[in-house]
Structure 1
Amino acid sequence: MGTRHLARLQFRADGPAVEGAWTVPSTAQDRYTEWVGLYGTDPNVVIRLIEETDGAERVRKTWTAQGEVDGPVT
């Protein structure tokens, strides 16, 4: 199985997600950036850029109303 690149949007941290998956990393990055522009100021929104290989996910970037961090928010 190859690597998938995902953009994941949640309107609250523990809520359901809207997600897109692509084989091209730049496409996922573009969607992540688009979602940050559209929803990034909402204090409840969490947006993630994720790399998935063989079912294992690695969060590359996370956006919340406080800004962007590399990796998951802890």
Structure 2
Amino acid sequence: MNTVLEDQDIKYEVELRFRPGGPAILGVWANPQTADAKFTEWLGSHGRDDALLTLTATAGGETRPVKSWTAKGGLRLAPVI
């Protein structure tokens, strides 16, 4: 499968906010499996109430959503391009 982000230096960022607009916990990794594992870990330990959890990928200055989670909306996966 070919995507716009393939074959580029990519950074994967996981961000957790305990409430919209509130303080964030942020982690950045080069390995998508590590970022995904951290997303899952943070979801398990902090995924409740007003929390917002996002995983994004940035390459060439362009940031794209990978997935997100809220208690109200559940898990949402971004479409693969």
The two structures have a TM-score, normalised by structure 2, of 0.77
Matches within 5 A, 1:22-33: 22-33=29-40
Partner of 2:65: 59
1:46 and 2:49 equivalent?
A: no
Number of aligned residue pairs: 70
Calculate the aligned-residue CA RMSD, in Å: 1.4
Long gaps (5+) in structure 1:
none
- The answer for unaligned runs of 5 or more in structure 2 is 1-7
Equivalent of 1:17 in 12, 24, 49 = 24
Give the TM-score, by structure 1 length.
Answer: 0.84
- State the secondary structure of the residue aligned to 2:64: strand
Identity %: 34
For the pair shown, which has the larger CA radius of gyration, 1 or 2?
2
Structure 1 SS opposite 2:13: strand
Runs of 4+ in 1 over 2 A off after TM superposition: none
